[in-house]
């Protein structure tokens, strides 16, 4: 059975792909082992 | 004067009264007005401001109070605010935006005597949503001076094409992840991404507070150093500014440092990942560099998801910065449909994932520190392939030309642009020849934080022995 080809610039398709990208990135990040003591780098400086 | 003269050559001509700053500014504005539209490089011509600054430069020259940038015209990416001109951020919703101040980098260049001739085109919002087409800009697709059927690269599109086409001797660009490096590589210019915090971001559009950097794009490494010396340094208006200054090494120290430098390299970068068209020129460039800097050692980045890390960081920060735009009535005016979808989706990134990406940055910073105990710099390709066709969707495999080799099990340092940005490291991008399709290819050197002087010294030595940076496109 022939499948209907979707326009690659269809906004609904793009929205779906963008959501999938976010989910895929999150899965990649979560799959990395990370020691519990690892803190993020910070640029916060308390006022003097 | 040749329109491809370097800053140093122009400075000599100005000091020797062979040309006045007003003549140079007029010539530059005329060139920009005539030729920049061919490359979609121009956002706004700032002729009136340029002539005012040039007259001041001529007065300084007459008093013999000139420094290396006095009277030198330049362009600035339209992400930087400049008094008296619109600042569009390359995006239709901001087409009429006027930020009535000078970004710190522009104010510092003004104090150094440089002459702002133009605001230059860029990808809308620096491409933070993930655009599909080179046309994702208020000013249209950035066109490459070597072939107008090819893209100039982004997001500092106009900065690279204006320098590459000989319209300005230098330009300011900015990089969140690749926006100085990619257009420099594609257009055959020398671009310097400074260490995070070396150059104030005040007055620049923020896409990512923890990733954004502002840096020079020019004809030579030495010209980049002249500009960086002027724009680096403390700024009370940017709390992320390191307060450090930049000074290039003196000639003898630079030559010695370049010769002694230990270069980290992974041979699979070019062997396994360079495009068919670019491989020979890139391999030759590596061999040429090795003749000048002979101490090569193997160095590779750890296996980490650099793409998802950097994307998660800038998308989260960018979504917070642009939330009102994304949820407001003017959002649909953005050009690129994929970028719009990406920005909307970025609003949904979870805090846990943003913070995980940030914590992984700490691991990466530590990994780089370990690498830099064994080598002084890391060498890899600027880009694996030459400039993409203007009509090519950037997120899909090329249909013709510029084909990149299939990924192998040896990633080498192909993730260097994302990884280097995540770690806040400086990098210099420089041309090393031409691919078989006639387009420039280049290399990049990455060093530890605040190692710009060594990066410049090595590339200056390379450019002193080779002539790739002297090749010029035809109009």
Whether residue B475 has pLDDT greater than 90: no
Strands B115-120 and B42-45, by their bridges, are antiparallel
With CA atoms as reference, the chain A residue closest to B365 would be A41
Residue B310 with chain A: CB contacts under 8 Å: none
Confidence band of B94 (pLDDT split at 50, 70, 90): very high
- What pLDDT is stored for residue B405 in this prediction? 54
* Region class of A31: left (phi > 0), else alpha (psi between -120 and 50), else beta: alpha
Mean pLDDT of B38-56: 98
- Choosing from B135, B137, B152, B155, the catalytic residue is B155
Mean pLDDT value across chain B: 96
CA-based torsion, B311, B183, B244, B455: positive or negative: positive
Is residue B219 exposed (0-12), middle (13-18) or buried (19+ Cβ within 10 Å)? buried
Helix, strand, or coil (residue B296):
strand
Q: Is the pLDDT of residue A44 over 80?
A: no
Q: Give the side-chain half-sphere CA count within 13 A for A8.
A: 9
Higher-scoring residue by pLDDT: B81, A47? B81
CA nearest to B436, candidates B270, B271, B279: B279
What mean pLDDT do residues A21-25 have?
A: 98
Q: What ipTM is given for this predicted complex?
A: 0.89
Max intra-chain CA distance, chain A: 70
Q: Which of B456, B445, B447, B453 shows the shortest CA–CA distance to B425?
A: B447
Please check the confidence at residue B31 and state whether its pLDDT lies above 60: yes
pLDDT at A5: 74
The verdict on a CB contact (< 8 Å) between B361 and A14 is no
- The question of whether B18 is a catalytic residue gets the answer no
* CB-CB contact of B422 with B309 (8 Å): yes
CA B385 – CA B273 distance, rounded (Å): 9
Where residue B409 falls among pLDDT bands split at 50, 70, 90?
Answer: confident
- Do the Cβ atoms of B341 and A15 come within 8 Å? yes
Checking if the pLDDT of B442 tops 60, the result is yes
Indicate the length of chain B as a whole number: 475
**Percent of chain B scored above 70 by pLDDT?**
98
Instruction: List B431's β-bridge partners, or say none.
Output: B442
Select from B377, B381, B153 the least CA-distant residue to B281: B381
Quote the CA–CA distance of B161 and B171 in Å, as a whole number: 10
Residue B456, pLDDT score: 98
Q: Is B155 a catalytic residue?
A: yes
Q: How far is B208 from chain A (nearest CA, A)?
A: 13
Decide if pLDDT at B407 tops 70: no
Q: What share of chain B is helix, strand, coil (3-state, %, to 5)?
A: 40, 15, 45
Please give the Cα distance from B74 to B113 (Å, whole number): 11
Ordered alpha helix ranges (H), B39-115: 47-62, 104-111
- Tell me what percent of the residues of chain B surpass a pLDDT of 90: 96
The mean predicted confidence, pLDDT, of chain A is 87
The pLDDT value given to residue A42: 75
Model pLDDT, residue A4:
66
Copy the structure tokens of residue B459: 């590339």
Once rounded to an integer, what is the mean pLDDT over residues B405-411?
A: 69
Report, as an integer, the average pLDDT of B172-187: 98
Contact B342 A21 (CB under 8 A): yes
The predicted structure's pLDDT at residue A6:
79
- Rounded Cα gap, residues A40 and A35, in angstroms: 12
> B366: Cβ–Cβ under 8 A, 6 or more apart, which residues?
none
Sequence-distant (≥ 6) Cβ neighbours of residue B201 within 8 angstroms: B104, B212, B213, B214, B238, B240, B241
Which range has the worst mean pLDDT, B219-228, B268-277, B347-356, B391-400? B391-400
Mutate to test the interface with A, among B127, B347, B359 (most CBs of A within 10 A): B359
Catalytic residue, chosen from B159, B177, B179, B316, is: B179
Chain A / chain B CB contacts < 8 angstroms:
87
State the pLDDT at residue B408.
61
Ramachandran bin of B140, using left for φ above 0, alpha for ψ from -120 to 50, beta for the remaining angles: left
Residue with tokens 């015209």: B73
CA B173/CA B155 separation, integer angstroms:
8
Could you tell me if B380 and B263 are in contact, meaning their C-beta atoms sit under 8 angstroms apart? no
Average pLDDT, stretch B137-149? 98
DSSP notation for A1-48: -PPPPPPTT-HHHHHHHHHHHHHHHHHHHHTS---TTPPPP-------
Q: Which of A10, A13, A22 to mutate to test the interface with B (most CBs of B within 10 A)?
A: A22
- CA-nearest residue to B349 within chain A is A22
Catalytic annotation present for B259: no
Residue from B348, B362, B421, B424 to probe the interface with A (highest A Cβ count within 10 Å) = B362
Question: What separation in angstroms does the CA of B227 have from each of B59, B80, B92, B234, B414?
Answer: 21, 16, 30, 15, 28
Q: Which residues of A touch B348 (CB under 8 A)?
A: 19, 22
Q: What distance in Å separates the CA atoms of residue B146 and residue B350, rounded to the nearest whole number?
A: 43
Are the C-beta atoms of residues B115 and B123 closer than 8 Å to each other?
no
Asked whether the beta carbons of residue B338 and residue A18 sit closer than 8 angstroms, the reply is: yes
Question: Which residue, chain included where needed, has tokens 């930087």?
Answer: B80
pTM comes to: 0.96
Cβ atoms of B75 and B168 within 8 Å: the answer is: yes
Residue B404 has pLDDT above 60, yes or no: no
* B345 neighbourhood in chain A, CB within 8 Å: 15, 18-19, 21-22
User: What is the distance in angstroms between the CA of the first residue and the CA of the last residue of chain B?
Assistant: 17
User: CA-to-CA distance for B335 and B91, rounded, in angstroms?
Assistant: 8
* Among candidates A11, A29, A31 on the partner chain, residue whose Cβ is nearest the Cβ of B309: A29
Residues B56-85, mean pLDDT to the nearest whole number: 97
Contact map slice: A 1-48 vs B, CB within 8 A: 8-9, 11, 14-15, 17-19, 21-22, 24-26, 28-32, 34, 38-41, 43, 45
In a 3-state reduction of DSSP, which class is residue B436? coil
Q: Measured between CA atoms, how close is B406 to chain A, in angstroms?
A: 21
Q: Which residues of A touch B399 (CB under 8 A)?
A: none
Digit-coded pLDDT (tens) for B195-238? 999 999 999 999 999 999 999 999 999 999 999 999 999 999 99
Q: Which of A15, A22, A40 sits opposite B349 (nearest CB)?
A: A22
* Residues in contact with B90: Cβ distance below 8 Å, sequence separation at least 6, in sequence order: B43, B78, B79, B121, B122, B123, B124, B125, B126, B137, B138, B139, B155
Tokens of B213: 């950097």
Interface of B with A (CB under 8 A): 130, 132, 209-210, 239-240, 304-305, 307-309, 311-312, 315, 337-338, 340-342, 344-346, 348-350, 353, 355-363, 365, 393, 396
Compute CA A40 distance to the chain's CA centroid, rounded to the nearest angstrom.
Answer: 18
Average confidence (pLDDT) over B248-272: 97
């Amino acid at each position: 059975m022939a499948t209907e080809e979707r326009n690659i610039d269809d906004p609904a398709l793009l929205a779906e792909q963008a959501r999938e990208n976010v989910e895929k990135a999150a899965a990649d990040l979560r799959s990395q082992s990370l020691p519990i003591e690892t803190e993020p780098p910070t640029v916060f400086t308390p006022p003097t | 004067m040749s329109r491809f003269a370097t800053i140093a050559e122009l400075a000599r001509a100005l000091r020797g009264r062979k040309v006045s700053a007003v003549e140079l500014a007029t010539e530059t504005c005329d060139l920009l007005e005539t030729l920049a539209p061919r490359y979609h490089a121009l956002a706004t011509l700032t002729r009136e401001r340029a002539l005012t600054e040039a007259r001041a430069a001529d007065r300084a020259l007459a008093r013999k109070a000139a420094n290396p940038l006095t009277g030198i015209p330049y362009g600035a990416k339209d992400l930087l605010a400049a008094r008296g001109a619109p600042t569009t951020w390359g995006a239709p919703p901001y087409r009429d935006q006027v930020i009535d101040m000078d970004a710190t980098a522009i104010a510092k260049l003004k104090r150094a005597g440089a002459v702002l001739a133009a605001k230059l085109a860029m990808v809308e919002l620096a491409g933070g949503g993930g655009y599909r087409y080179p046309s994702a800009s208020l000013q249209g697709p950035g066109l490459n001076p070597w072939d107008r059927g090819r893209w100039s690269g982004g997001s500092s599109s106009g900065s690279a094409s204006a320098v590459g086409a000989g319209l300005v001797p230098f330009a300011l660009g900015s990089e969140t992840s690749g926006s100085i490096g990619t257009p420099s590589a594609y257009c055959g210019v020398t671009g310097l991404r400074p260490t995070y915090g070396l150059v104030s971001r005040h007055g620049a559009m923020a896409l990512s507070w923890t990733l954004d950097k502002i840096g020079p794009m020019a004809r030579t490494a030495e010209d980049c150093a002249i500009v960086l010396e002027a724009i680096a340094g403390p700024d009370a208006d940017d709390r992320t500014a390191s307060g450090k200054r930049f000074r290039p090494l003196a000639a003898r120290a630079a030559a010695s440092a370049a010769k002694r430098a230990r270069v980290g390299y992974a041979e699979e970068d070019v062997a396994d990942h360079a495009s068919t068209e670019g491989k020979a020129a890139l391999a030759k460039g590596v061999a040429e560099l090795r003749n000048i800097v002979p101490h090569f050692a193997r160095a590779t980045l750890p296996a980490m998801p650099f793409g998802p890390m950097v994307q998660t960081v800038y998308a989260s920060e960018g979504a917070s910065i642009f939330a009102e735009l994304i949820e407001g009535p003017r959002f649909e005016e953005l050009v690129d449909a994929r970028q719009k979808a990406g920005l909307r989706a970025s609003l949904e990134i979870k805090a846990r994932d943003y913070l995980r990406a940030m914590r992984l940055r700490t691991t990466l910073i530590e990994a780089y520190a370990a690498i830099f105990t064994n080598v002084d710099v890391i060498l890899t390709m600027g880009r694996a392939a030459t400039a993409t066709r203007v009509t090519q969707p950037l997120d899909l495999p090329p249909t013709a030309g510029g084909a990149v080799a299939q990924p192998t099990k040896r990633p080498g340092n192909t993730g260097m642009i994302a990884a280097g940005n995540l770690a806040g490291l400086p990098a210099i991008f420089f041309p090393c020849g031409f691919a078989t399709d006639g387009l420039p290819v280049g290399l990049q050197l990455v060093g530890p934080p605040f190692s710009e002087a060594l990066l410049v010294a090595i590339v200056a030595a390379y450019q002193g022995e080779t002539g790739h940076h002297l090749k010029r496109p035809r109009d």
